Amino acid sequence: MNTISINGEVFSLMFSEAEILRRIKEIARTISTDYLGKTPIFVGVLNGAVIFLSDLVREVTVDLEVDFLKLSSYGDEKFSSGSVKLLKDFDVHIGGRDILIVEDIVDTGLSIEFIKKLVFPRNPASVKVVTLLHKKKSQQNQNIEYVGFEIPDEFVIGYGLDHSQKYRNLRGIYRLTK
């Protein structure tokens, strides 16, 4: 399936399931080496990161824990509203722990910035970010330790990423064609 039509908009395949899983294995190898001897907490940012997180953690070979944060989302829009709110906090204490924030996509970077401000005052041992996709915007210099794929500034769906809450279950990642 190389293109999908949704309400008159056409989405075309950007990354196949096989390409995504191959890249996740590579990232997981690096993470497993970097966290050797530690027990990091993988913190999935709901809802989009759920699918990436579940594939990623099963490829990581060090002991780990999983927790989730939920932030307010784009709603039905294709662009960031510019404001972020916390809808669900950590369930565990993160003081002294190694925190790996797991995102599906970093776009404006506002969500990551918000999470770091939430996390740092709680004195974790370390905070790193892994994102499957990173929208490259030349004016930004975000500090993201692990990136699956750099992509242009385009709207994408599938593999956890939604369009009005739907299409998260597509196995590949699709871009909106102009």
Binding site for ligand IMP (CB under 6 A): 45, 48, 73-74, 80, 103-111, 155-157, 161-162
User: Quick one: 74 or 90, whose CB is closer to ligand IMP?
Assistant: 74
Residue recorded with tokens 């809802």: 47
User: Quick one: 61 or 164, whose CB is closer to ligand IMP?
Assistant: 164
Smallest distance from the beta carbon of 110 to ligand IMP, in angstroms? 4
User: Quick one: 61 or 165, whose CB is closer to ligand IMP?
Assistant: 165
Smallest distance from the beta carbon of 17 to ligand IMP, in angstroms? 17
Active-site pick, 55, 98, 104, 107: 107
Listed in sequence order, the residues at least 6 apart from 94 whose beta carbon sits closer than 8 Å to its beta carbon are 41, 119, 122, 124
Give which of 60, 50, 18 is closest to 146, Cα–Cα: 60
Smallest distance from the beta carbon of 152 to ligand IMP, in angstroms? 11
Give which of 150, 114, 111, 158 is closest to 132, Cα–Cα: 150
Residue 89 annotated among the catalytic residues of the structure: no
d(CA 152, CA 5): 21
Residue recorded with tokens 């307010």: 72
Catalytic center residues: 107
